Amino acid sequence: MVASILDEEVFGASGEVRDREATRGVVVTYPVGTATLHNGHMASTRNELARRLASLTGFSYAGEYDPLRHPAMPTYFVPSDTLDSEAATRAGIRRESDLFGGVVPHPFVATKTITHPLPDAPSCVPIGWSREFPRRVADVVLKGASAFAKGDALSAGNTLLAIGPVRVKPGGGIAGLGQSVVDNVIDLAIALETIEPDAMSRSGVVVEENLSDVTTYSIGQVRVADQVATYCGTQFMTKNNRGAEVYGGSDLTVVRGGFDRLLALPLSEEVALAIDQARTYDAAASECFEGLYASRRNYDVAQGLDGAGSWVSGVLEQSWRLGGASGAEIGALEAFRADPSLRIVRATTREVYGEAPELPTGAVVYYSGVDASVGALTKYAVTEPHGHPR
C-alpha cells in the first residue's frame, strides 16, 4: 500500500528523522562502489531523482541510506548500480517494489557480457554463467563474444575481425566510456591491454561487430508504486570536454501501461523490431537467471550497417539500474500521476558538456556545474505532450 504524501516535513537537511510516527516510509539513495563519493554530477543526479521518486511513492526523502536509522520503517531504495543478491539482502531489499533498479544473482549478470557466448573452451568462466541465455538471444543481438581473460578475448576478437571492424567494450563500462574500435589484431591486443586484470576477471569484456550509420534505440519499462510506464525512443551521442563521444541524451515516447499500449501506436518497422528484440532479451534474462528482478528495465538496440554493408539490428546491452534516461522516465510518471486521463507523453533528457545551455521551458535540472571528473556539465529533462513541437 502506498502511503499518502505528508504535509509536515519530518526530516532535517541531513535526512535525520524528527518524528518516526509521522511518516509511513522513506526513499533513500544507496551508493555502491565509487558512487560512495558524495559530490559530483552522479551523486547530484541520484539525489534529485530520489527526491522525485519520494513524491511518486508517497514516502519522504531521507538522503543516503543509514542502516542505524532507517530499518524501523518501510524503505524504498535508489541504488547507484544494479545490486547482487547478497548486497540486496543485507539492505533488506527483497522484491522489485523495494527499489528503483534491479537485483541480479551474480555481479557479472549486470554487465554487457551476458549478451554473447564465451569462446570455445574458455580459460575463465564466472560462477553462475548461463550457457542457455546467449543461445536464447542469438537471433536478437549482434555477432560477438564475451570473455573474462585477455587470451580468450584476443582469440574471439581475431575471429570476428575476419568479417569487419570490431568494437571492444569493457563489461562494466557506461555511457560508451572505455570503448574502442579496431580493425587488426595488433590494435585489438593494445585495446585489451588497457583493461585492468581485476576488471577483466570481475566484469569481463565484449568483442562485437562494429556498425556504421548507427541508430541506437532505448526500449524500456519502469514500475513505481501503482504506476507502469513503457517507452521507446532514440539515443544520441555528444562530445565530452575531452572530445570523446559519449552518451548525450534520449528522446522517448512514453505510454501509460505495458508493451501492449506501446505496440498499439503507429510505429515504423524498425522501431517495432527493436521493441520485439528487447522483449525477447528481457524474457530470456528473467527465465535464465534465477533471482533476477527489476523495476527499471532498459535495453539499448543498435541498428546500422555491418562490415559487409548489410543492415542489421540487435540488442547491445541491458540496464537494470538508474540510467541516463531515468530523468525522462520519472518525468513521464509524474505527468501520468498529475493527469489520470493522460495516456502518452514525450520525455527527453540531455547531457550538455561545456558552457551551460539555454534551457527549454519546463526543464528540470539534475546537475549544472563543474564536476571534478568530467568538467562543466548540465543535465536536464523535459516532459511534454506527445507531438508537441519544440
- Is residue 177 scored above 80 in pLDDT? no
Could you please state the CATH topology (level 3) that the domain comprising 213-385 is classified under: D-amino Acid Aminotransferase; Chain A, domain 1 (3.30.470)
Give the Å distances, CA to CA, from 255 to 201, 208, 346: 40, 32, 9
Per-residue pLDDT at 13:
39
- Is residue 247 scored above 50 in pLDDT? yes
Per-residue pLDDT at 3:
30
pLDDT cut 90: percent of the chain above it: 80
CB-based contact 56:332 (threshold 8 Å): no
The x, y and z cell numbers of residue 161, run together, are: 575481425
The x, y and z cell numbers of residue 298, run together, are: 532498459
CB-based contact 229:332 (threshold 8 Å): yes
Question: Which is higher by pLDDT, 29 or 15?
Answer: 29
Per-residue buried b or exposed e for 243-269, using 16+ beta carbons within 10 Å of the residue's own CB: eeebbbbbbbbbbbbebeebbeeeeee
What's the distance, CA 202 to chain centroid? 19
- Residues 6+ positions from 341 with CB-CB distance below 8 Å: none
Per-residue pLDDT at 2:
30
- Is residue 260 scored above 70 in pLDDT? yes
d(CA 114, CA 136): 11
What pTM value is reported for the model? 0.89
Q: What is the pLDDT of residues 280-338, one digit of tens each?
A: 999 999 999 999 999 999 999 999 999 999 999 999 999 999 999 999 999 999 999 99
Per-residue pLDDT at 244:
87
> What DSSP element (H or E) covers 150?
helix 150-160
Per-residue pLDDT at 8:
28
Mean local confidence (pLDDT), 19-28: 68
Per-residue pLDDT at 40:
83
What are the boundaries of each domain within the chain? 20-105, 111-210, 213-385
Mean local confidence (pLDDT), 261-287: 97
- Is residue 9 scored above 90 in pLDDT? no
Which residue is associated with the grid cell 500500500?
A: 1
By residue count, the chain amounts to: 390
Mean local confidence (pLDDT), 248-263: 96
The x, y and z cell numbers of residue 29, run together, are: 539513495
Per-residue pLDDT at 32:
86
CATH superfamily of 111-210: ATP-grasp fold, A domain (3.30.1490.20)
